[in-house]
């Protein structure tokens, strides 16, 4: 699915965040220590190789909502943006913290003068955020932030399952149509 949001192409696809070769920066749903883990962090660190964890060492720990950037090493991208999502039911206010992940990541990508970025559904795996609520927050945040972005031309959401893709698509229709 594709939308035009203030001159930025917004795409929703079903796929693997570690296999997006046409994107300059991919976003990692990181842990505070920026170490490898399960889900997105596991896939990104596996594909990037051990140098990614080395590069992360000096940047850790990060706070909930914060975003930092490293090289992407063996991934087919230039950069990885690492952001720490809120644990649902624990880190409060969770909606604001989740929005901050997207906003800070987008601003960081913009500062680095990059044209394209791909996001996973941050916090919706191990951290337990319900997918529909997370979709609403992430897509609304893109809508609110898009006006401030001059360099970014493509924002892609990479959803890992058909059902998550369908939830995102339904929410996007409401927000952008």
Total binding residues for ligand AR6 by CB under 6 A? 23
CA-to-CA dists, residue 29 to 49, 68, 99, 139, 175, angstroms: 17, 12, 13, 16, 24
Least distance (Å) between residue 7 CB and ligand AR6: 26
Among residues 13, 14, 39, 115, the one that binds ligand AR6 under rule CB under 6 A = 39
Stretch of 64-72, 108-116, 125-133, 167-175 contacting ligand AR6, by CB under 6 A: 125-133
**41 touches ligand AR6 by CB under 6 A:** yes
> Token match 């932030």: residue?
145
Q: Give CA angle at 82 (169, 108), nearest 5°.
A: 85
Helix crossing, 162-176 with 131-146: angle to 10°? 40
Furthest-apart CA pair in the chain: how many Å?
Answer: 43
**62 touches ligand AR6 by CB under 6 A:** no
**122 touches ligand AR6 by CB under 6 A:** yes
Least distance (Å) between residue 125 CB and ligand AR6: 2
- Between residues 114 and 122, which has the closer beta carbon with respect to ligand AR6? 122
**138 touches ligand AR6 by CB under 6 A:** no
Among residues 7, 38, 49, 89, the one that binds ligand AR6 under rule CB under 6 A = 38
What is the C-alpha separation between 151 and 148, in angstroms, rounded?
A: 10
The site string for ligand AR6 over 73-102 (x = CB under 6 A, - otherwise) reads: ------------x-----------------
- Between residues 41 and 109, which has the closer beta carbon with respect to ligand AR6? 41
Q: Give the E-state strand segments of the chain in sequence order.
A: 2-5, 8-14, 25-29, 67-71, 79-83, 116-119, 154-159
What is the C-alpha separation between 160 and 147, in angstroms, rounded?
A: 28
CA-to-CA dists, residue 128 to 24, 33, 38, 124, 137, angstroms: 28, 19, 13, 5, 15
Among residues 75, 108, 164, 167, the one that binds ligand AR6 under rule CB under 6 A = 164
Interface residues toward ligand AR6, by CB under 6 A: 16-18, 29, 31, 37-41, 43, 85, 120-127, 158, 160, 164
């Amino acid at each position: 699915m594709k939308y035009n949001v203030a001159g930025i192409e917004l795409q929703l696809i079903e796929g693997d965040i570690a296999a997006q070769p046409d994107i300059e920066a991919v976003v990692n749903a990181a842990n505070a220590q920026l170490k490898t883990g399960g889900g997105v962090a596991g896939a990104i660190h596996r594909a990037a190789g051990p140098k990614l964890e080395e590069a992360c060492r000096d940047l850790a720990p990060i706070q909930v909502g914060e975003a930092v950037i490293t090289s992407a090493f063996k991934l087919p991208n230039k950069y990885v943006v690492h952001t720490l999502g809120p644990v649902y039911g624990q880190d409060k206010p969770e909606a604001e913290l989740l929005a901050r992940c997207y906003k800070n990541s987008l601003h960081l990508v913009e500062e680095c003068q990059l044209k394209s970025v791909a996001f996973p559904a941050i916090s919706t795996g191990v951290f337990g955020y319900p997918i529909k609520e997370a979709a609403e927050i992430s897509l609304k945040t893109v809508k609110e932030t898009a006006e401030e972005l001059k360099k970014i031309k493509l924002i892609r959401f990479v959803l890992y399952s058909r059902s998550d893709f369908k939830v995102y698509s339904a929410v996007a229709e409401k927000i952008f149509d």
